[in-house]
Amino acid sequence: MKKLFTLGHPSKCTEFTYRGSARDGVTLDQTGAPRIDAAFFTAALAQFAGSDIKGGFSMTDPPRDGFGEWVLKNSPVLNSRALSPRHGSFMAAILCDEAGVLSRLEGLAVWLTFPRIAQSKDLHPTQGKGK
């Protein structure tokens, strides 16, 4: 089991636990044990490669073109279950921890900067092995 904090202002961050990795897929230790598939993490890294986007984790009004809105719209197709923008906050924290995504605050808004190429050994196990 791994522990992380969601991104954002310290007064709004929430500690959460999960099992797995972005490479193998993640199960959040929450009611219903939401699953985030490895392919969904990979799709997020590809979709936003080299981009700087708003986190947008509001359940009621995620900002247009933010990460939370993308999770909401794409999870029914790209993941084994539908996810909410709030799930996007956990997913973003995991991507920051495992895949080289950077986060920053502008006021209370979280912004995510995605690397041009995924930097995670977990997501690319052959990276650096001459393959």
**Contact of 71 with 84, CB cutoff 8 Å:** yes
Strand-pair partners of 15: 5
Q: What is the pLDDT of residue 118?
A: 58
Place of tokens 């909401």: 72
Share of the chain above pLDDT 70, in %: 89
pLDDT tens per residue, range 78-119: 999 999 999 999 999 999 999 999 999 999 899 999 999 755
pTM of this prediction?
0.88
pLDDT digits (tens, 9 = 90+) for 64-87: 999 999 999 999 999 999 999 999
